[in-house]
Structure 1
Amino acid sequence: MTIELINSLSDSALPGVSWQIEQVRTGKSSELWVATPHEDASYLARQLGLAPYQVFDIYAQRYLTAIDETKGIWWTDLPVPNNARFVINADWTKSIMSFGCEIAKVRWYSDAKRIVQAVAWQDSRGQIDYKDIYQRDGKRFATQYFSDGQLLVTEFFFGDEAIVVRDFYFNKRRDFVYANGQQFESAEQYIAAVINRQTNQTINITQFGRELTFVPKHTILTLIDNLTDSASNLQPRLRQILTDHQSPIGEIRMTDANFDYLKRAGLPTNHVKLVRI
């Protein structure tokens, strides 16, 4: 069967991504593969009507698992330095204070009051030093390290004791990824390597975003949205796909109306398949 591939579970409101999720939920596609890791992925998947085993986290190289939310970290149970105290500020932000100085900012899961999602620890200048990010079950999802307020490294644990993946940053951009004892020049290169190693099933996408940078050859592009952008011009990436013989997209699926638009625009349609959506 077909694997539906999306960039992020946070994109679930997009019409195309919503359609992909529904394909998996109703059994028309086998699985949902997600490129961007998220500490709350299991909860988000459940809210979308998906079982954990139906969602594969590409970055973590594993399927989601059920989370025991009763084991989340109650915010006053956080290990803190001596003399530190927990404060809820007037604007409902949360802080850890020590000797009158804020040493950390705390974020709760919005619908699980006082369960810790992230703690941003500050240096003596009040700038972020490092951030611990937690899953709803209290296990560490990732730790991020900063210098002069700029992100340097993200270490992903995905609930494990050991580091699974490291992202390194330079000049505010992700520089390279280290995983499986290998260095990858970009996150997209790493994601592509995982996909190629993990499956040979047909993959379908619906977006013109970063998915196009890591999908394998013969990927299907199903167009749920209109073919034009906000200025009523044909999506530039679609024009490129239609005319690029090296594109990883092997088939473009669309409705009759979209197909007629392409013909009127004089664009090649040899890789287009008409479908009812």
Structure 2
Amino acid sequence: MDYVLVNNVVADEQWQQIKAEAPDQEQPNVISLVSAPKLGKYFGESGVNGINLLDRLTQRKYHLGQYRFFNDVPVPYWDKIFVNRDGSISIYDRGSEIAKEFLYPNTRRAAQDVRYTNLDGTLDYIEEYAYDGTIFSNLFYAENEMLEMVFYNQKFQPVVRYYLYQGVINLVTVENPETHQVLQRYNSLLEFYNDQVRSIVTEQDTVMINYMGVELTSLINTESHNILRLSEDPLDDQGNVRGNLADILYDRVKTIQTVQVSAKDYKILQKKGLPLAKIVII
């Protein structure tokens, strides 16, 4: 199978480009790494085989056309939800604002998340809703610093947890949603990505990436045929060939077997005297 591996899908234009460049344009096979409540807008399209690492573990299915109405969010019984003149939404408890609600862009009623605050105004926790209105995650804070992210299945049972220290994810656990027994444990987000991507792609598959960041490192130890379709400028701000690209072309990074570049970029790399054996002009 031919896959496109992306970090995240954040905009409609980006999604259209991903589908246009996918090896199988009639039925794009797209793997995404980052958790994203909005992902259902794209992966829920007919004919798209979209695989998100978290959704795969939580077995989440998206239902286009459904959403959570903005006043259908969990609040204390007597609380009031007000739409302010500037379009923002406030939640009041006994006259004091305890939370703000945000809607999905370009919608008038679809709840995206609710951000609850402590008495001193610092964040307490955020509840995120998937594009179809189901509860997607809770993000827990202390002194405005995120400490834990919990991702749920569609029965509102926790399945995956990210634990953070000083803004860095240093532990990921996957648990049985019924018994809460920890089934898998990872010491970093990259370790989690590596293991989950390896469990999806096989040596018979082809995986295409566009960027040399987390997409590249998540392919470590895969046995698939991996292609870099270069979307970045091959040179950095100092006019040198980007380090990861040079390592790929010199085969110091063996994760990528083929590099697809434009004729313009090919000439740039040729002038720099880099090995061109992996390069294919598109």
Output aligned runs, 1:256-267, within 5 Å: 256-267=263-274
Deviation of residue 25 (structure 1)? 8.4
Q: Please, which moves more after superposition, 218-227 or 115-124? A: 218-227
**Is 1:4–1:204's contact at 8 Å kept on the other side of the alignment?**
yes
**Is 1:75–1:114's contact at 8 Å kept on the other side of the alignment?**
yes
Q: Any gaps of 5 or more consecutive residues in structure 2?
A: 176-182
Output aligned runs, 1:126-141, within 5 Å: 126-141=121-136
Deviation of residue 158 (structure 1)? 4.5
Alignment match of 1:41 (pick from 39, 42, 53): 39
Change in CA separation of 1:245 and 1:153 when aligned onto 2, cut-off 3 Å: same
Alignment match of 1:73 (pick from 68, 72, 79): 68
Q: Equivalent residue for 2:196?
A: 194
Deviation of residue 225 (structure 1)? 4.5
Deviation of residue 44 (structure 1)? 3.4
Q: Equivalent residue for 1:119?
A: 114
**Is 1:73–1:116's contact at 8 Å kept on the other side of the alignment?**
yes
Alignment match of 1:107 (pick from 86, 102, 107): 102
Name the aligned partner's letter for residue 39 of structure 1. P
Deviation of residue 230 (structure 1)? 5.0
Structure-1-length-normalised TM-score: 0.86
**Is 1:24–1:54's contact at 8 Å kept on the other side of the alignment?**
no
Q: Equivalent residue for 2:7?
A: 7
Q: Any gaps of 5 or more consecutive residues in structure 1?
A: none
Name the aligned partner's letter for residue 198 of structure 2. N
Change in CA separation of 1:171 and 1:158 when aligned onto 2, cut-off 3 Å: same
Residues 213-237 of structure 1 show CA distances to partners (whole Å, capped at 9, x for unaligned) of 1113542112245423455443232
> What percent identity do the matched residue pairs reach?
21
SS of the aligned residue for 2:212 comes to: coil
**Is 1:9–1:45's contact at 8 Å kept on the other side of the alignment?**
no
In structure 1, what is the Cα distance between the partners aligned to 2:131 and 2:17?
Answer: 27
**Is 2:2–2:23's contact at 8 Å kept on the other side of the alignment?**
no
2:215 is the counterpart of 1:211: yes
In structure 1, what is the Cα distance between the partners aligned to 2:133 and 2:264?
Answer: 49
Name the aligned partner's letter for residue 9 of structure 1. V
Deviation of residue 29 (structure 1)? 7.3
Alignment match of 1:156 (pick from 115, 126, 151): 151
- Structural RMSD (CA): 2.6
Q: Please, which moves more after superposition, 123-132 or 221-230? A: 221-230
**Is 2:126–2:138's contact at 8 Å kept on the other side of the alignment?**
yes
Name the aligned partner's letter for residue 23 of structure 1. E
Change in CA separation of 1:259 and 1:209 when aligned onto 2, cut-off 3 Å: same
In structure 1, what is the Cα distance between the partners aligned to 2:227 and 2:114?
Answer: 40
Q: Equivalent residue for 2:256?
A: 249
**Is 2:60–2:154's contact at 8 Å kept on the other side of the alignment?**
no
Change in CA separation of 1:118 and 1:9 when aligned onto 2, cut-off 3 Å: same
Deviation of residue 160 (structure 1)? 3.8
Q: Equivalent residue for 2:167?
A: 172
In structure 2, what is the Cα distance between the partners aligned to 1:115 and 1:27?
Answer: 30
Output aligned runs, 1:47-62, within 5 Å: 50-51=45-46, 53-61=48-56
In structure 2, what is the Cα distance between the partners aligned to 1:26 and 1:271?
Answer: 22
**Is 1:32–1:55's contact at 8 Å kept on the other side of the alignment?**
yes
Change in CA separation of 1:19 and 1:244 when aligned onto 2, cut-off 3 Å: same
Name the aligned partner's letter for residue 196 of structure 1. R
In structure 1, what is the Cα distance between the partners aligned to 2:261 and 2:26?
Answer: 17
Name the aligned partner's letter for residue 220 of structure 1. I
